[in-house]
Structures are given as C-alpha cells and as structure tokens.
DNA sequence: ATCTTGTTGGAAACGGTTTTCGTTGTAAAG
DNA sequence: CTTTACAACGAAAACCGTTTCCAACAAGAT
C-alpha cells in the first residue's frame, strides 16, 4: 500500500503518483515542474490535481512550501517535520535543511523587545550550489 | 525641489507624486493600494507608472520590497538604505526595522559551508503589535 | 521655440494559480 | 457482485497581479 494523505477520504492513483515523485526528488520545485516530471514518466496526472494535492499535503504538514524572491511558489517533502529553514539553489532547487537555534531565539527576543506577540518568522537562504556554479 | 530618483534622467510629476506618498505612509503596502491612494488624492498617476516607479526605487535601494507568505508583493520606503530586516504587524502593517549582524554572519557561514555562492536571504518576522493586541 | 528622447498610460498580453462543472471512479453499503 | 453516493479528476475558463506594447506626451538641452 502506497502512503496516503492524512484526512483524505479517498486514495487515488493520482495522489499516489504525486507522493511517489515527491519522495524521489531532493529539492524545492514548482508545481509546474513536478507536473512536467509526471508527464515525462507518463503518470497521467492533471496540472489541476498536482496543485490540489500539493495544497492538501502542505495543509497536512507533509510538504514544505516557500517562495523565491521573485514570488514563484516551491514545494518540497522535507526529511523532518520540526521547524527548520532552507538553503536553496536558485537554479536546480537543491536544498539543505538547516536549523539555527540562535536565530530562533534572536527573532523571538526582537519581537518581545518591541511588544509583539503571536510571533512567527520566515527565513530562507538562496544561492547557487557548487554543481550549478560550474 | 522634490526629491528625485537616482539615475533617472527626467524628474516627472508622476514620480514626485509616488515619492511624496511613500514619505507619508508608515507600513508595507501593495502597488495597487498605493495607486488607489494616489487616485483618492487625485494625483493622476497610472497604475503602470506606479509599478515602474516602485521598481526603479527598489533598484535604486530607495524602497524595500517584501512578500507576505501568500505571495503579494509589498513596498515601503525605509529609514535606512543599508541591508536590514523587518518586524511587521499582521493587523495594521506597522513595521520596525531591525538589524542582526550575527544572523547575517550565520547565513553566509551556512551557505559557504555547503558550497553555495551568490548568496542572498530573506528574513521577516510577523506578529501582533502591542497596540493591536489590545 | 525646437528637437531629442525618456516617460506615460490604456489596452493587451502574460504567467502562475484557482475555479468551474460535467465526468470518472473510489469505496462503502446492500 | 451490484448498486449507490459523492470525492476526486481534469480541460477549459476565469482570475489576478504584473509586465509589455506603442502611440502620445513632455522634460531638459540647444
Ligand atoms: Zn544547483
Ligand atoms: Zn525559524
Ligand atoms: Zn498593529
Ligand atoms: Zn539580512
């Protein structure tokens, strides 16, 4: 039995295909890139369903989503569900999951100092990975 | 003499209007919100020109741009042109400019450790300000 | 005043994402 | 196994923020 999406009444072939692909890729990719990969492997999943499934997975906490400075939304199935950040290659999407306890403390301290509550933050590092630099 | 945009061959009434508005507003706003404000004060500036002027100002480092988690692009004329980050109130948009030298070093260190070059990062803290908490 | 050319702005195009709605097929009930 | 209900699919259309197009305009130079 392929892994199912939590709280999804029905397990369809399409969702299994998206999940299978997400397990194979290592970087952050756009919905369209993932869809093209599915087309390439003849998985027969519509673009609409890719978008819907990704949103479902994000809501379930199974997939992380971030955005390039340009605004394009990226998706990735990370190895951990705990709070963490990402070092992402702009060209190929290769990603390193990073933790920064000191940064977490600094952000909360800054917010508290200015009287802000109900605090959250976004932090992503973008660059060109060694492989793409060549 | 109204303030001019660096590297802009011509100083037009429209650019002066956008700059004047940016000097008056406090928080991060979208291009469309700024355009509507200009319409409201009968400044007669086209939406296209608002977008173009904002991009000019961003390129010149006169205006900061960021995005809400939802993806909408926001603009703000900050008090400093040096690299910095923001503590933003989710309800009213009130913004505190914050600097974190330790975070800057940490981000660069992380990227270098994993062989990434041409590095940049995004970091924003969102919360509810003291005034809105009441 | 005239000229050059950067700038403007309405319309159209654009690109990513969401919605629509008739069809398909999963899964449970009989 | 067959029926039934409705979740899910997907192609097309709508949507929405942003960019491009291009003819008219106007800032600054001479
Ligand atoms: Zn790369
Ligand atoms: Zn964090
Ligand atoms: Zn507030
Ligand atoms: Zn920084």
Give A31-86 pLDDT, tens digit per residue. Answer: 999 999 999 999 999 999 999 999 999 999 999 999 988 888 999 999 998 999 99
* Integer Cα distance of B91 and B86 in angstroms: 15
* Integer Cα distance of B81 and B43 in angstroms: 27
Cβ atoms of B93 and B29 within 8 Å: the answer is yes
Q: How far is the CA of B82 from the centre of ligand 2 (A)?
A: 23
Query: Which fold, B80-134?
Result: Dna Ligase; domain 1 (3.30.1490)
Percent of chain B with pLDDT over 90: 77
Q: Which two tokens stand for residue A88?
A: 């992402």
B73 has a chain A CB within 8 A of its CB: yes
Is residue B91 pLDDT above 80, yes or no? no
Instruction: State residue A2's pLDDT score.
Output: 54
CB contact under 8 A, A71 and B73: yes
Q: Mean pLDDT in chain A?
A: 93
CB-CB neighbours of B117 under 10 Å: 12
Query: Between helices B13-24 and B31-40, what is the axis angle to 10°?
Result: 100
Strand D nucleotides in reach of protein CB atoms, 7 A cut-off: 7-12, 17-21, 26-28
Domain positions in chain B: 9-79, 80-134
**What would be the CATH architecture of the domain defined by B9-79?**
Orthogonal Bundle (1.10)
Of B118, B121, B126, the CB nearest to A124: B121
Q: Which long-range contacts (CB under 8 A, 24 or more apart) does A82-86 make?
A: A85/A123, A85/A124, A85/A125, A86/A28, A86/A124, A86/A125
Burial bucket for residue A13 (CB in 10 Å: 0-12, 13-18, 19+)? exposed
Q: Does the C-beta of A33 come within 7 A of strand C?
A: no
């Amino acid at each position: 039995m392929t892994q199912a999406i939590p709280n999804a009444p029905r397990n369809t072939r399409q969702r299994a295909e998206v999940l299978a692909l997400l397990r194979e890729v290592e970087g952050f990719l756009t919905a369209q890139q993932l869809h093209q990969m599915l087309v390439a492997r003849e998985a027969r999943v519509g673009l609409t369903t890719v978008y819907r499934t990704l949103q479902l997975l994000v809501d379930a906490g199974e997939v992380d989503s971030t955005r390039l400075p340009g605004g394009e939304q990226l998706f990735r199935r990370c190895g951990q569900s705990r709070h963490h950040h990402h070092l992402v290659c702009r060209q190929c999407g290769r990603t390193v999951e990073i933790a920064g306890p000191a940064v977490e403390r600094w952000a909360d301290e800054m917010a508290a100092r200015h009287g802000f509550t109900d605090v959250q933050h976004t932090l992503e590092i973008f660059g060109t990975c060694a492989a793409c630099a060549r």
